[in-house]
Structure 1
Amino acid sequence: MNKKRFMAFVACAFALVAAFALVGCGGTSAQTAGSAAGSASAGSDDSADIKTLTVGFDQSYPPYGFVGDDGEFTGFDIELATEVAKRCGWELKLEPIDWDAKDSLLNSGAINCIWNGFTMEGREDDYTFSDPYMLNGQVIVVKKDSGIKSLDDLAGKTVITQTDSAAEDVLSGDKADLAATFASLETIGDYNTAFMQLESGAVDAVACDLSIAQYQLAAKPDEYVQLDEMLSEEHYAVGFKKGDDALASKVTETLKEMDKDGFVKDLCEKYADYGISYDNWVLK
């Protein structure tokens, strides 16, 4: 082999080795990048890394969230949220909201959870939820002297419920046939006003959460009665923006700890006169 051919051979061999090396490095880099991307993706949920838990709630929703006699926000869910924030080292900010605006407030970051007797069934695709913590249901409340004894007796009657509530969802969904028998199904901004309408005789019945019914019956046992048949059975959970899984998990685990050490049971007993029962607590 002459010198020129030898030098050409060496150059060709060098280029070939370099090419294989480049491919090998490229493959390694791609795998490393892929692994890094996967790790970043897996660890990208930093939703629990917060300093302030901003709770959106309806301030006219006793016994879960309302204004107490001292003018301060209080309620079963408010006290749960307060204790969770304390145990997690978060500052708590209570944000009374227009219930119709809850989704835009949550998605914009103005609040980072909805904690207010919030029914999860039928909303699973719209929020990330904590584990359910309280059994709930949708029921009908009427005046004791109304003569209404069953759901069938609501035919031709005026029924009212809260706007964008679980009761409204049920009566426009699974119980739409029942609602079709009403003289009308009206909606209003809050349940306190709905029960004022019932008391005045402006409407014949209120469709509401079981907890709301229990609260109203506890306050006025001689005025109202709850129909035996429920419209639906469901659960309360804390609602977070879709994808805030770490924050939802942190709240769930903290609630479990609060149940184990007796805090939840004591709180249920505190609100027993408002219709809250530890028998309905489901998060263990």
Structure 2
Amino acid sequence: MKQALGTIAACAALLAYGAAHAATDGTAAAGGSRLDDVLARGTLRVCTTGDYRPYSYYRADGTFEGIDIDMAESLAHSLGVKAEYVKTSWPNLTADFVAKCDIAVGGVSTTLERQKHAFFTAPYMTDGKTPIVRCADAGKYQTIAQIDQPGTRVIVNPGGTNALFAKQHFTRANVTVYPDNVTIFPQILDGRADVMVTDASETLLQQKLNPGLCSVHPDQPFQFGEKAYMVPRGDVVFQQYVDQWLHLTRATGEFQAISDKWLK
């Protein structure tokens, strides 16, 4: 009898443990998936900052464009729904995503801090932080130590992984937080700043858009980074759908064609 009661108690404890952990799984715990919600709603709510070429850019006419915007349209098309965009900012990206969106796109770097609040899809790009400077100064700013000097004016946009990198590595340089990631690069070109450290893929595009600026060793960035899409935490069904769609776009060449469209 004691053994039977012990077995029942153990089973009850296991059930309670499972229920408690299921309750932390977001939408999955409610008995459904965001996939079902999106299909029923007829819209895919997409959070994006709109200030990060070539991934996401907010145009003057109120529309978005870029690699990840075309990819979001592809994902919505695969679901038979319409993409609906929610403009956010890097400081507010995670909070806005959790409250308002089904997916977050736009050159989002995978971080453990973001992983606390969301799941990531499989990465679609490997990237890393590297400097962009006036071409005449490229030889001066090859290393973190060369940049982190009292006479160096480092410029950075707020709220994302660029700001985190600057805070961690530039303790002696003069670091300025500049609010607009769209017009930040001309600040270097015009002599108001010396260096920005951002994702290598962004520096390669910005040196094309701003002749006179040069990306410094983009093939050997300072650290390892990946870009992926944010999806709701705990919703494995939706995550697997987006991962499978992403896999197919890469296998069929759709992703490469979209990337080439914006990078070449």
- Structure 1: distance between partners of 2:77 and 2:155: 38
1:153 correspondence with 2:146: yes
Residue type at the aligned position of 1:57: T
**1:46 aligned onto 2:36:** no
Equivalent in the alignment of 2:54: 63
Residue 252 of structure 1, CA deviation: 1.0
Q: Which residue of 1 aligns with 2:208?
A: 218
What secondary structure, in the 3-state scheme, does the structure 2 residue paired with 1:218 have? helix
Q: Give 5+ residue unaligned stretches, structure 1.
A: 1-22, 274-284
Structure 2 residue 247 is matched with structure 1 residue 256: yes
Cα displacement (A) at 1:117: 0.3
Q: Is the 8 A contact 1:162 1:208 kept in 2?
A: no
Q: Would the aligned equivalents of 2:121 and 2:230 in 1 still touch at CA under 8 Å?
A: yes
Do 2:205 and 2:263's aligned partners in 1 also have CA atoms closer than 8 Å?
Answer: no
Corresponding position of 2:25? none
2:159 maps to which of 147, 154, 164: 164
Q: Does the CA contact (< 8 Å) of 2:110 and 2:228 recur in 1?
A: yes
1:242 corresponds to which of 215, 225, 233: 233
- Tell me how far apart the structure 2 counterparts of residues 160 and 248 of structure 1 sit (CA, whole Å): 36
SS in 2 for 1:49: helix
Instruction: Answer whether contact 1:61 1:190 (CA < 8 A) is retained.
Output: no
1:207 to 2:207 alignment: no
* 1:227 matched residue in structure 2: 216
Distance (Å, rounded) in 2 between the aligned partners of 1:260 and 1:50: 27
Length-normalised TM-score, structure 2: 0.79
Shift, 1:71, TM fit: 5.7
Amino acid at match of 2:178: I
Q: Percent identity?
A: 19
Instruction: Find the aligned partners of 1:193 and 1:218 in 2 and give their Cα distance.
Output: 15
Taking the aligned partners of 1:102 and 1:166, their CA distance within structure 2 comes to 12
Task: Report if aligned partners of 1:54, 1:94 keep a CA contact under 8 Å in 2.
Answer: yes
Confirm or deny that 1:137 pairs with 2:128.
yes
1:129 Cα deviation from its structure 2 partner: 0.7
| CA deviations over 1:23-62 (Å, ceiling 9, x no partner) | 9xxx8xx99xx6xx87xx5873512212321111111211
Q: Secondary structure at the match of 1:150?
A: coil
TM-score of the pair, normalised by structure 1? 0.74
Q: Which residue of 1 aligns with 2:187?
A: 197
1:187 aligns with one of 154, 177, 195 = 177
